[in-house]
Amino acid sequence: MIEKEQESFINWDFKEAETKQFTHGYHTYPAMMIPQIARRLIYLYGKNAKTLLDPFCGSGTSIVEASLTPQIKEAFGFDLNPLAVLIAKVKTTPLDTAELGRILDKLLVAQGHNGVPDFKNIEFWFKPQVTERLATLKTAINKIKNKDVKDFFLVAFSETVRNVSNTRNGEFKLYRMAEKSLEKHNPWVFKEFEKIVLKNIHGMKEYNKARHKTKTTATLGSSMLDLPLKPQSINLIVTSPPYGDSRTTVAYGQFSRLALQWLDYEDVASLDNRLMGGKASKELEVKINSPTLKSIIKEIAEKDEKRAREVLSFYDDFDQCVDQLNKAMAKDGYVCFVVGNRTVKGVNIPTDKIMAEMFKAKADYEHITTHLRNIPNKRMPSLNSPTNKVGEKVTTMCNEFIFVLRKN
C-alpha cells in the first residue's frame, strides 16, 4: 500500500495514458472516466474490497476495471441512461471473438430491411442513403438470437449511427454540420461499422485474457430511488457523478438521443429532464446539512434566484442518492468520487466539498484525502458550452477533485 503521506504527491493527470485498452474504447460517452483513475483508486482503497458499486456508471469504466481486479467478486453499475447501461453491459460481457468475426462477415453482406424508424427529423440528421444502410444493418443485427452477441453488435451500431449522422464531430450536444461540410458528407455506413466492430473484437480479445471471475451487472435505474442492493454490502464506490443538471453541464440525453431512437427506446427526449437536477426546485430553502452549500446558494440567489433554484434542485436530488449509497455502504468501506467544480453566475461551486459534507451529515464518514487532477487535454470543458451557443468552446473546468471518504 502506498503510504498516506505519499499519496498526495502522486500525479493523477495521466497525460500519456492509453485510455482505450481492453473494452474501454468501445463507444464514446460524455465525461468518461480515465480507466487509470478507476484502476488506481481500486488499487489504493480496494485492497480488501469484495464488492464495488458505481451508481452513475455511464459507459462502465469502473465496473470494467473491477472485473480486471482479482479480489473483487461482484461489481454493480447503475445508470438512468439506457444507452450507457447497454455499453457498460457489453463492455463487461466476455464473448467468443471467433464467433463475433463470423457473424460480422454475414452482417456485412446483409441486404434489405424491414422499415426505417419513424422518429421526428430523421431526414434532418441522416442522409437518405445513410438511413437505408443503417436500416439494413439494424434488421440483420436484430435477427441474431444470442442476446449478448446481439448487444455487442448494437453497441457498434450505435457508435456507427453517431459517426455517420449529420451531427458535428466532437460535440456532445446535437448540432448539425454546416451546409458546406454536409455537401461533402457521404459516409460509408458498412465500412464504418466494420471498422468499429474489428476494433471492438480486438478489445474483447485483450479483455478475455485479463478478465477475472468478477460478476458484473449494469442496471437501468436511478440512484435516487431504492437501489436493489443488500444493506451494508458495498466495500468500495468508485464513480464520477454528474456535477449539475444536464442542460447547463453535460448533455447525456442529447448525446444519446439519435442512437436511442435508432435502437427503438422510448421516452428518449425526456431523458435529460429525468437525470439529476432535471427539474428546478420551487423553493430556495436549503434543507441539506451542508454549510458550504447553504452559503453558495445564498450567494447565487443574490445574483439570480432562478439559477440558485436550479443548483439547489441538483443537490436535493443528489441528497437522495447519498441516502441510498449510505444504506448500501459497509463499515470500513471507501467512497471515491471524481468531480469537477463549476461556476454559476461567477460563483465557484466546490462540488467536492459539498458532496463530502453531505455524506458526513448521514453517518460517520472520515475524509481520507482529496487528490487533485489537472485535466491535460481539456476535452470535457471544451465540449461543454455553458452559454449554449453553438460551437462555443469555454473552459469551465481545468481541475478534477477525487475525494475519498471512509465509513467508520
Ligand X SMILES: C[S@@+](CC[C@H](N)C(=O)[O-])C[C@H]1O[C@@H](n2cnc3c(N)ncnc32)[C@H](O)[C@@H]1O
- Which parts of this chain interact with ligand X (CB under 6 A)? 29, 31-33, 56, 58-59, 61, 78-81, 84, 222-224, 240-242, 252, 275-276
Residue number with CB closer to ligand X (95 or 322)? 322
Measure Cα distances from 83 to 4, 76, 158, 210, 266 in Å.
Answer: 38, 16, 9, 25, 12
Closest contact distance (angstroms) between CB of 298 and ligand X is 26
Closest contact distance (angstroms) between CB of 224 and ligand X is 5
348, 311 contact by CB (below 8 A): no
Residue number with CB closer to ligand X (34 or 140)? 34
Angle at 338 between CA 231 and CA 88, to 5 degrees: 70
Closest contact distance (angstroms) between CB of 4 and ligand X is 26
Residue number with CB closer to ligand X (53 or 275)? 275
Closest contact distance (angstroms) between CB of 181 and ligand X is 28
CA distance 377 to 374: 9
Closest CA to 185 of 232, 239, 125, 229: 125
Phi then psi for residue 343, to 5 deg, are -120, 125
The DSSP call for residue 230 is -
Q: Which are the contacts of 136, defined by CB distance < 8 A and separation ≥ 6?
A: 110, 111, 112, 113
Residue number with CB closer to ligand X (76 or 193)? 76
- Closest-CB residue for ligand X? 58
Residue number with CB closer to ligand X (193 or 243)? 243
Closest contact distance (angstroms) between CB of 303 and ligand X is 26
Closest contact distance (angstroms) between CB of 166 and ligand X is 24
Buried b (16+ CB within 10 A) or exposed e, 189-208: bbebbbebbeebbebbeebe
Angle at 177 between CA 174 and CA 183, to 5 degrees: 150
CA distance 62 to 54: 7
Residue number with CB closer to ligand X (80 or 103)? 80
A 10 A CB-CB count for 284 gives 13
Closest contact distance (angstroms) between CB of 143 and ligand X is 30
Q: Sign of the CA dihedral 184, 190, 191, 196?
A: positive
